[in-house]
Amino acid sequence: MKTFQTVNSIKTTLLVALIALTAACGYSSKMTPAVAGAIPALTQLAPNNANAGTAFVLTVNGSNFGSRAVVNFNGNAQTTTFVSANQLTASIPATAIPTAGTATVTVTNPATAGTGMYGGGGTLAETSSPMNFTIN
């Protein structure tokens, strides 16, 4: 009878230890939420105006541009080239400026995926404040 109680005691102890180790090793469904990313800031557009119906390359100067940052022209993502953390260029097609007026330009740093065991963490997408561009 004593042996049976000892075996049950050992089984219970092992089960409790296994549960504790599993919980302590991170085998849970909790994920670290994404954190705020770097918010890009615009300081200058070159050129700052163009004639309607004309394609051009827009240079965007500012700060906090990520390597995958995207220039948005009038709310539409454009083909963007990363030059540095302070400069991007974007090809603006003639169809993006069909008539005279004002267009807004922003830069978005896309979200980055987390690298934790369950994909937690990472950063949220962040978009700059808009800057106006004149269409003649």
In a domain, 55, yes or no: yes
Q: Which residues contact 94 (CB under 8 A, 6 or more apart)?
A: 53, 54, 55
Same domain, 20 and 84: no
Please give the residue range of the domain that contains residue 8: 1-30
Same domain, 7 and 59: no
In a domain, 62, yes or no: yes
Nearest CA to 66 among 91, 40, 41? 40
Same domain, 64 and 16: no
Number of domains in the chain: 2
Average pLDDT over the chain reads 85
Same domain, 22 and 54: no
CATH number, residue 55: 2.60.40.10
Same domain, 19 and 46: no
In a domain, 35, yes or no: no
- pLDDT for the residue numbered 35: 82
d(CA 121, CA 2): 51
d(CA 72, CA 133): 12
Same domain, 18 and 52: no
User: Which long-range contacts link 79-87 to residues 24+ away (Cβ below 8 Å)?
Assistant: 86/61, 86/62, 87/59, 87/60, 87/61, 87/62
Same domain, 71 and 101: yes
- pLDDT for the residue numbered 15: 66
Give per-residue pLDDT as tens, 20-71: 655 555 554 556 777 878 899 999 999 999 999 999 999 999 999 999 999 9
pTM of the model: 0.73
